Amino acid sequence: MYPSGKYSSRGPALIPRMKTKHRIYYITLFSVVLLGLIATGMFQFWPHSIESTADWALDKRSVHDAPLVRLPVSSPIPERGDLSCRMHTCFDVYRCGYNPKNRIKVYIYPLQRFVDELGVPISSTGLSREYNDLLSAVSDSDFYTDDVTRACLFIPSIDVLNQNSLRIRETAQALAMLPRWDKGMNHVLFNMLPGGPPDYNTALDVPRDRALLAGGGFSTWTYRQGYDVSIPVYSPLSADVELPERQPGPRRYFILSSQMAIHREYRAELERLKEENGEALLLLDKCSNLSQGAAPARKRCYKGQVYDYPQILQESSFCVVLRGARLGQAALSDVLQAGCVPVILADSYILPFSEVLDWKRASVVIPEEKLSEMYTILKSIPHRQVEEMQRQAHWFWEAYFSSMKAIGLTTLQIINDRIYPYAARTYEQWNNPPVVKWSSVNSPLFLPLIPPRAPGFTAVVLTYDRVESLFRVITEISKVPSLAKLLVVWNNQNKSPPEGEKKFKCPECTAIDGLSLDQTHMVERSECINKFASVFGTMPLKVVEHRADPVLYKDDFPEKLKSFPNIGSL
Amino acid sequence: VVWRSLATALRPDPQLHHQHTSPRERRAIRDNIYKNKRCRMETCFDFSRCQSGFRVYIYPPQRGDEISETYQKILTSIEGSRFHTTDPSKACLFVLAVDTLDRDQLSAQYVQNVRSRIQSLPTWGDGRNHLIFNLYSGTWPDYTEDLGFEVGQAMLAKASADVVNFRPNFDISIPLFSKDHPLKGGGIGYLTLNDVPPSRKYLLVFKGKRYLTGIGSETRNALYHIHNGDDIILLTTCKHGKDWEKHKDSRCDRDNEEYSKFDYQELLHNSSFCLVPRGRRLGSFRFLEALQAACIPVILSNGWELPFSEVIDWRKAAIIGDERLLLQVPSITRSVGRDRILALRQQTQFLWDAYFSSVAKIVLTTLEVIQDRVDSLVSRNRLLWNSLPGGLYAFPQYSTDPAQFPFYYAVLGKSPTQQFTAVIHTVTPLQSQISPVVKLIIGVAKSKFCAQIVVLWNCDKPLPPRNKWPSTSVPLTVIEGQTKTMSSRFFPHDVIVTDAVLSLDEDSVLSTNEVDFAFIVWQSFPERIVGYPARSHYWDGSRSRWGYTSKWTNDYSMVLTGAAFYHRYYHYLFTHHVPPSLLTTVDRMANCEDILMNFLVSAVTKQPPIKVTQKKQYKETMMSQGSKASRWADPDHFAQRQTCMNAFSHWLGFMPLVHSQMRLDPVLFRDQVSILRKKYRDIERL
């Protein structure tokens, strides 16, 4: 129904050109237009009626039942992506609005099957398993809205993950047909395998107007920093293979190369490195004569010896991830999963999620030209650091690579962080693995202030009913020059605090000293400590053996020259 | 259930088409295509020039070169850095003597025929490996990014950089700074107090010009909409330029009047947030002013590539707004929680002090960012750039692993290694088995934390044979110094692998108990110097210079390195960060190396060293027991130390030493309890 509203708005412009002999025709047309306007108006009152049809969710409808849309040959084609696009020029923030949750709303278009005029689909695969997973994850997340009018970001359900399976022109036409396309504003396309033979461009070749691209193989020349999102190439092995947990530490091999499609020049270089350094390197390739039934993706070979992939990756400290025809390689994901430190040789490649992830902590990036120096370079990294990188690599996989859901939601979170930068996740939140998050200390008062122009201190005295001792404390502490304020917290409900005038005299005082020596008191306090430690899940208290004293404390030195002569005297 | 029937999108490539394109050819093609406006390090920078290190060469000025005061500060900063070279054949990076800072044709500072001047340089080579500084580009009315000459393959360190023209990881965005910006040292941040809750009188303030003609004023023109005269004070004036009255609009009079009612400094000091809207260009002076004032910048300048954005995480110190959402600014700033305000505010102070407070820091940061790119394998990660003490004090050439530095244990949830290396500086011959140094070795080796002992043989006499040294349970290494200079005692020898170093003079007298206690204390303060004898500095008003005193006073600011624990990273910093000229001074006098180390550590940490308690006779024995050649006996020695203080503070541009009134003693020290209950008994015994 939406298109009818659009045509109706052209109506008034036609009327002045009307000729009398066609009056009846125009009256009819006018009525149609009027009906259209009324219908549009009704939709405004019933926005929810749009929702129900706009719900893409698959549990209600199978892929094969999705409506068929035929693309006219002359259907408009979007412009090629604009390299100068940035959030402030090509993204409409007004659609996102200010909201207390600081969360963008994401709409997913209903599933449709686009075909050309001859009925040939625009894509050889249609909706892929991976894209379906991604869309399901988004629809199950907090980002999702089924209300198109409230959406900030739009995700087409046209699957463009792999450019190879697409008909470029028709896919572009299909995008332009989307009812809210509007020059691609606020639309995000997910693509993992861009380009095609022979050049393999580093960004999706489908013309897409201003749509932002979550792409899997950007180079520094196609990536629009702060606009596009660089995403990983998902490895289907992630879902199929569960690797046993492996602690960071020394491994059987130092460097492992496991990719199958390595250019012969690079393979020759690797062979040379292997000759020089022997057993430390393991160079695997595809297996030439595998028995029937073995999945070739799960096996690698070296000189007739067969190794299980990706399990073998766990046996190496470093794993080579060389560029292929494309910059983005699914092998990166496998390598990270195995907790093997990726050695990335792909010049000008924008690493996945590099806007937020600090890859220097999890990988080694070596210029392709320096492949021959790889061994020396890696040998210079201390063991402790390698272990740290192994841990970090595995954490990156777990948090951001392990599923299409992780990839999709991370992408949305990055975009969310741009739109609500004041509520963005921090570097630590993105990069610190849970073990660091739990053990690290980030004081809110972290800055060593020099010199603190302190306005003094506030003394807070907690009291129950030991008035005499309270008065003694007050008398003593009020002599301190840097005391700014004294706050007494009267913690006794059965008794009201002494009146102001009586403050420094206490006739009814009774000494109840020695409370802290009480045996039950100590037992109670021990119980408290155990209780607190169990709630914290750890014992946060730390033991020190030092005590702060004034510089000249108990030194053989004239007392009157000491700043704090009274300390230590009873 | 449905998806089971779906095919995967990620089949491996059908066949390997790329096997035909040689990687070498592909790189050659790439290098040709991506030039000039599409420059990246891999296509427009000659890395081979940097093989002998990251050296920066400045062209000699030619006759008639007019160099502005600001550009001179930039050049002086480079000359004073450890990167500078006077030999162009060794240079990795070239800097022009032609002043390119102000490229506004209407400006008095505009330098004519820059284009021909640059083209005539013999080593220009289309700008390859050149760095060009610029603060102002374009002119009235549209202020484009035009420089009036072709940058070619030169890197641009530019203020007000626009993201669209900015070549990522190639150009560098620098902040706009005024001609009064100090060369070094620099003003300290205004935050001297972390008041909780961190509320200030005003929520959001701004005071600046409004432009009646030309671009850049849309946001400033609209500010009055959110000005409320109460806690949001946004003031603009039309009064600037000669003929402002000719263009004045209906709001000018009202705005001007309101503008004059408030004092800018008063606003700056008393506001939680400071608005930084774009001016004529994307960057404005308001940015650094707000940063210094600990007034959290609220940036409204769409398309501005923030200063050093390649390395600095601005979200930790600023609110990055959107000019289109000006009206949301009040609610956004009000929604920022107290803890976040506290954190943002402190980060402004850290960043100000680490990278922006002086021209030298801005220039050094620029050079360090480039150096990180040139050898990306030895570069800082974001943690090193964005936490104390900052990238200019954390050198990746020492290690790229944050856990190897003294600064990040807490944020990484780690702790230093449980052992130390004792490094004994020896200048007198080994006379007998009762030499003080022998006693020292034996005493230190008994500590359960001692991993090894290293003796630095800086004595002119030949190295004694192995059997003359005492036998110890821990490894004893004797290193004969090549230069035998005083500064070499802090050389980062590879043999030192523990995080902690116990630095000792040969005549130091220490019991095992004292060593153990000091090491335990150091573990709580791994970024500081922890030691025994302390000294102090003071300002000598009558002679307008810094003074040094060894008198027993109630406070101290230095701990002598003749007996002190510190992190081994400081050996690296001392040897590679301190300018060679200062090290030469130290070596020539054979004095002050300990003062210099204290200056360095306090400059890095902003904190005083820590004195732990020592046996009473320590000072006396140290003075008397030392051999006759002891430098402490020399009367000139003390005078030299006064001179050193002033030379060192001149180098830094400020006095880094901080006083402390605290001494750390064992918990039961001199308490009225049985000595048997005390762990460190020796320290109390006389």
Q: Report ipTM (2 d.p.).
A: 0.92
The tokens for A62 are 């199978």
Nearest to B291 by CA among B268, B309, B322: B268
Residue A485 has pLDDT above 90, yes or no: no
In this prediction, residue B246 carries a pLDDT of 86
Chain A contact for B18, CB < 8 A?
Answer: yes
Give every CB contact of residue B85 below 8 A, 6+ residues apart in sequence: B55, B56, B57, B91
Judged by CB atoms closer than 8 Å, whether chains meet at A263 and B18 is answered as yes
| Residues B486-496, mean pLDDT to the nearest whole number | 95
Whole-model pTM? 0.90
Residue B20 has pLDDT above 90, yes or no: no
Residue B605 has pLDDT above 80, yes or no: yes
In this prediction, residue B621 carries a pLDDT of 46
Judged by CB atoms closer than 8 Å, whether chains meet at A384 and B382 is answered as no
The tokens for A495 are 């008794």
| Interface contacts (A, B; CB < 8 Å) | 290
Chain A contact for B552, CB < 8 A?
Answer: yes
- Kindly report the nearest CA distance between residue A26 and chain B, in angstroms: 44
Nearest to B364 by CA among B169, B157, B91: B157
| Residues B389-417, mean pLDDT to the nearest whole number | 94
In this prediction, residue A19 carries a pLDDT of 53
Higher pLDDT, B546 or B621: B546
Judged by CB atoms closer than 8 Å, whether chains meet at B612 and A62 is answered as no
| H-helix or E-strand spanning residue A471 | helix A467-477
Chain A contact for B41, CB < 8 A?
Answer: no
pLDDT in tens, B458-480: 988 888 888 888 899 999 999 99
Chain A contact for B664, CB < 8 A?
Answer: yes
Chain A contact for B381, CB < 8 A?
Answer: yes
Least confident among A388-402, A464-478, B163-177 = A464-478
Judged by CB atoms closer than 8 Å, whether chains meet at A426 and B316 is answered as yes
Domain B420-664: CATH superfamily, name plus number: Spore Coat Polysaccharide Biosynthesis Protein SpsA; Chain A (3.90.550.10)
- Kindly report the nearest CA distance between residue A167 and chain B, in angstroms: 14
CB contact residues (below 8 A), chain B span 137-196, against chain A? 163-164, 168-169, 188, 191-194
In this prediction, residue A3 carries a pLDDT of 39
Residue A504 has pLDDT above 90, yes or no: no
In this prediction, residue A509 carries a pLDDT of 45
In this prediction, residue A318 carries a pLDDT of 98
Chain A contact for B666, CB < 8 A?
Answer: yes
In this prediction, residue B633 carries a pLDDT of 62
Judged by CB atoms closer than 8 Å, whether chains meet at A553 and B19 is answered as no
| Residues B437-442, mean pLDDT to the nearest whole number | 92
Judged by CB atoms closer than 8 Å, whether chains meet at B18 and A325 is answered as yes
Residue A423 has pLDDT above 60, yes or no: yes
In this prediction, residue B336 carries a pLDDT of 93
Nearest to B521 by CA among B539, B502, B540: B502
Least confident among A2-11, B173-182, B561-570, B655-664 = A2-11
Of the candidates B346, B403, B612, the beta carbon closest to that of A446 is on B346
Judged by CB atoms closer than 8 Å, whether chains meet at A442 and B38 is answered as no
User: Looking at chain A, how many residues does it have?
Assistant: 570
pLDDT in tens, A9-59: 333 444 444 455 566 766 676 776 677 666 655 545 444 433 334 455 554
In this prediction, residue B348 carries a pLDDT of 95
Domain B202-355 has CATH 3.40.50.1820: no
Q: Which CATH class is domain A236-287+295-399?
A: alpha beta
- Kindly report the nearest CA distance between residue B306 and chain A, in angstroms: 12
pLDDT in tens, B107-117: 988 998 899 99
**Helices and strands of chain A, counted as H and E runs:** 17, 17
Contact B353, B322 (CB under 8 A): no
Higher pLDDT, A559 or B538: B538
In this prediction, residue A455 carries a pLDDT of 73
Least confident among A496-505, B35-44, B170-179 = A496-505
Give the confidence band of B210 by pLDDT, cuts at 50, 70, 90. Answer: very high
Contacts of B661 in chain A (CB under 8 A): 550-551, 563-564
In this prediction, residue B589 carries a pLDDT of 92
In this prediction, residue A50 carries a pLDDT of 39
Token pair 């929604």 is found at B335
- Kindly report the nearest CA distance between residue A24 and chain B, in angstroms: 49
Q: Where along chain B do its domains lie?
A: 31-173, 202-355, 420-664
Please, what's the b/e burial string for A30-49 (b: 16 or more CB within 10 A of its CB; e: otherwise)?
A: beebeebeeebeebeeeeee
Of the candidates A364, A368, A455, the beta carbon closest to that of B23 is on A368
Of the candidates B316, B553, B667, the beta carbon closest to that of A546 is on B667
User: Exposure of B288 by Cβ count < 10 A (0-12 exposed, 13-18 middle, 19+ buried)?
Assistant: buried
In this prediction, residue B15 carries a pLDDT of 54
Higher pLDDT, A61 or A160: A160
Of the candidates B5, B13, B192, the beta carbon closest to that of A325 is on B13
In this prediction, residue B632 carries a pLDDT of 63
| Residues B282-297, mean pLDDT to the nearest whole number | 96
Contacts of A130 in chain B (CB under 8 A): 8-10
Residue B11 has pLDDT above 50, yes or no: yes
Residue A257 has pLDDT above 50, yes or no: yes
Contacts of B332 in chain A (CB under 8 A): 98, 422
Contacts of B342 in chain A (CB under 8 A): 444-445
Sign of the dihedral through C-alpha B610, B615, B619, B621:
negative
Residue A199 has pLDDT above 90, yes or no: no
In this prediction, residue B460 carries a pLDDT of 86
Nearest to A91 by CA among A224, A230, A232, A206: A224
CB contact residues (below 8 A), chain B span 199-238, against chain A? none
CB contact residues (below 8 A), chain B span 491-530, against chain A? 517, 520-521, 524
Q: Which 3 state secondary structure label does DSSP give A528?
A: helix
Residue B389 has pLDDT above 80, yes or no: yes
Average pLDDT score, chain B: 91
- Kindly report the nearest CA distance between residue A570 and chain B, in angstroms: 11
pLDDT in tens, A278-317: 899 999 999 887 777 777 889 999 988 999 999 999 999 9
d(CA B205, CA B258): 13
Least confident among A356-360, A447-451, B295-299, B656-660 = A447-451
Please, what's the b/e burial string for A411-429 (b: 16 or more CB within 10 A of its CB; e: otherwise)?
A: bbbbbbbbbbbbbbebbbe
Higher pLDDT, B431 or B60: B60
Q: Which residue blocks in A160-312 are alpha helix, DSSP H?
A: 168-177, 237-240, 264-277
pLDDT in tens, A512-551: 444 555 678 889 999 999 999 999 888 888 899 999 999 9
What are the beta bridge partners of residue A39?
A: none
In this prediction, residue A215 carries a pLDDT of 97
| Residues B284-311, mean pLDDT to the nearest whole number | 96
The tokens for A458 are 């506030």
d(CA A245, CA A337): 10
In this prediction, residue A517 carries a pLDDT of 58
Judged by CB atoms closer than 8 Å, whether chains meet at B6 and A93 is answered as no
